[in-house]
């Protein structure tokens, strides 16, 4: 088989959505004639830990781990956080209760560590990557971000070795929604944009998760681009549903400050009390304090942190409505999290809140897996109707042919076509 050196920061025991894309590619690449070799970080500062993902790693896979300087460790020390505390992905968001030290630390993170807090890993990627290339003789380099500083390391490694390189983006770079909430000086903004320009220019092929992000990249640099969305692994969803005497609404994943659920909360409050008493609402993941405050007026609400991926799958399967909230920011039309596809795999109704003309809305419509509502839309009627379907045992029907386009196996086959064309 041909060999591909896969560079990724997020790898087990890292939890969260960032690890799933690469982990599933690695699972299915050998079926299409490519042997993956992993280059990752030794002790990453991950927003969550999920030991259950170790069983997903293919037997015999060679994984090389390198050191990395992590400024978040310094940030924890300065701000008085525990060394064991996990830093959520929305940590740079403005918080009305943060101290002067926290504000100063965030300013340094945004303006000194460019493009991101993992910039200290770049030199280790190159140093250890050269040794791995010499030993393993890969045919190709594949790097998946964020963190985007990792792409700089992959670019330098490709330049030194002469290997072809495919850069993969799960999120935009300078157009990412979280960039709007951090204070950067002009020199940091320019440096970040220059890095982005270099990476997009020098990659032999660039793939990302949505057409919107391709459009954003293409407006900056002309290159070979492909859309390979996130997806779902059919083998993860083989277990059936256990009947429940509650109508369950669930949200899984991070909820940042820009993912407000006020309209959803108001819709639940407007339901008849006899219905509301039969509803159970569960949030699984890290939630920003402002969002938590908005949930305080609801009954039958449960919040859980750091739940393993296999448990999250069970939660999704046992739900009647799966809540999806796209950040209410500029440049949000191209946001396509891995979660939406795992939601879709359950065949349960997805209640989306976000841009109704965005990529996520189009996929929900095409697959008939749910519906996207604008941030100001009234949601009571749709929740009421789904509750009525549950009461009368009416099953939500999806378009199976459209849904199967998003299996991890089929998406890996698309990636392999890119590999074969580049290598």
What phi and psi, each to the nearest 5 degrees, are found at residue 196?
A: -60, -45
pLDDT at 81: 57
pLDDT at 73: 59
Per-position pLDDT tens, the chain of length 423: 999 999 999 999 998 888 999 999 999 999 999 999 999 999 888 888 899 999 999 999 999 999 988 765 555 555 555 555 555 554 455 566 667 777 777 777 788 889 998 999 999 999 999 999 999 999 999 999 999 999 999 999 999 999 999 999 999 998 877 666 677 899 999 999 999 999 999 999 999 999 999 999 999 999 999 999 999 999 999 877 787 889 999 999 889 888 989 999 999 999 999 999 999 999 998 898 888 888 887 888 999 987 889 999 999 999 999 999 999 988 889 888 889 999 999 999 999 999 999 999 999 999 999 999 999 999 999 999 999 999 999 988 999 999 999 999 999 999 999 999 999
- Rounded Cα distance between 180 and 89, Å, is 14
The alpha helices in 162-308, defined as continuous H runs, are 186-202, 211-218, 262-270, 273-276, 289-295
What domains does the chain contain, in order, with CATH numbers? 2-231+407-422 (3.40.50.2000), 234-405 (3.40.50.2000)
Instruction: Return the DSSP state at 292.
Output: H
Cα 170 to the chain's mean position, in Å?
7
CB count in 10 Å sphere of residue 191: 15
CA angle, 199 then 203 then 206, to 5° = 95
**Angle between helical axes of 149-161 and 186-202 (0-180°, round to 10):** 40
Pick from 19, 87, 41, 9: which is nearest to 308 by CA?
19
pLDDT at 181: 66
Q: What is the pTM of this model?
A: 0.88
Pair 166, 142: CB distance under 8 Å? yes
Strands 34-41 and 2-8: parallel
- Rounded Cα distance between 43 and 142, Å, is 21
What phi and psi, each to the nearest 5 degrees, are found at residue 329?
A: -140, 175
Pick from 308, 376, 345: which is nearest to 15 by CA?
308
Q: DSSP 3-state assignment of 87?
A: coil
Instruction: Return the DSSP state at 396.
Output: P
Instruction: Return the DSSP state at 250.
Output: E
Q: The tokens 């609404």 sit on which residue? A: 249
- Rounded Cα distance between 364 and 356, Å, is 10
Write out the two tokens for 372: 């996207």
Please spell the DSSP secondary structure of 115-161, one letter per residue: S-TTGGGHHHHHHHHHHHHHHH--SEEEEEESSTHHHHHHHHHHHHH
Q: How far is CA 382 from CA 259, 316, 342, 358, 420, in A?
A: 20, 19, 21, 20, 46
């Amino acid at each position: 088989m041909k060999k591909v050196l896969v560079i990724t920061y997020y790898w087990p025991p890292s939890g969260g959505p960032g690890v799933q894309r690469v982990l599933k590619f690695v699972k299915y690449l050998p079926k299409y004639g490519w042997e993956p070799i992993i280059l990752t970080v030794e002790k990453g500062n991950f927003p969550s830990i999920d030991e259950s993902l170790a069983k997903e790693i293919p037997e015999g896979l060679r994984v090389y781990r390198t050191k990395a300087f992590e400024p978040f460790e310094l940030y924890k020390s300065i701000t008085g956080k525990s060394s064991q505390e996990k830093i959520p992905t929305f940590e740079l968001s403005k918080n009305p209760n943060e101290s002067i030290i926290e504000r100063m630390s965030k300013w340094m993170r945004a303006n000194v560590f460019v493009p991101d807090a993992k910039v200290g890993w770049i030199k280790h990627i190159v140093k250890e990557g050269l040794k791995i290339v010499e030993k393993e003789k890969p045919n190709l380099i594949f790097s998946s971000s964020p963190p985007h500083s990792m792409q700089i390391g992959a670019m330098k490694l490709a330049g030194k070795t002469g290997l072809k390189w495919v850069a993969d983006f799960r999120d935009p770079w300078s157009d990412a929604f979280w960039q709007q909430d951090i204070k950067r000086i002009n020199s940091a903004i320019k440096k970040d944009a220059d890095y982005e320009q270099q990476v997009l220019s020098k990659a032999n092929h660039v793939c990302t998760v949505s057409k919107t992000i391709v459009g954003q990249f293409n407006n900056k640099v002309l290159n070979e681009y492909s859309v390979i969305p996130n997806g779902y692994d059919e083998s993860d969803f083989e277990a059936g549903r256990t009947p429940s005497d509650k109508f369950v609404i669930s949200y899984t994943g991070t909820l940042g400050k820009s993912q407000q659920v006020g309209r959803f909360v108001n819709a639940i409050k407007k339901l008849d009390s006899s219905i509301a008493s039969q509803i159970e609402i569960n949030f699984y993941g890290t939630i920003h304090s402002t969002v938590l405050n908005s949930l305080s007026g609801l009954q039958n609400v449960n919040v859980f942190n750091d739940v393993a991926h296999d448990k999250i799958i069970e939660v999704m399967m046992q739900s009647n409505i799966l809540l999806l909230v796209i950040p209410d920011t500029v440049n949000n039309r191209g946001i396509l999290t891995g979660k939406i596809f795992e939601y879709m795999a359950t065949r349960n109704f997805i209640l989306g809140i976000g841009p109704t003309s965005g990529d996520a809305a189009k996929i929900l419509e095409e697959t008939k897996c749910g519906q996207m509502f604008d941030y100001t839309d009234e949601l009571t009627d749709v929740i009421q109707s789904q509750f009525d379907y549950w009461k009368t045992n009416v099953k939500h029907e999806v378009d199976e042919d459209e849904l199967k386009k998003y299996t991890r196996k089929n998406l890996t086959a698309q990636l392999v076509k890119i590999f074969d064309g580049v290598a």
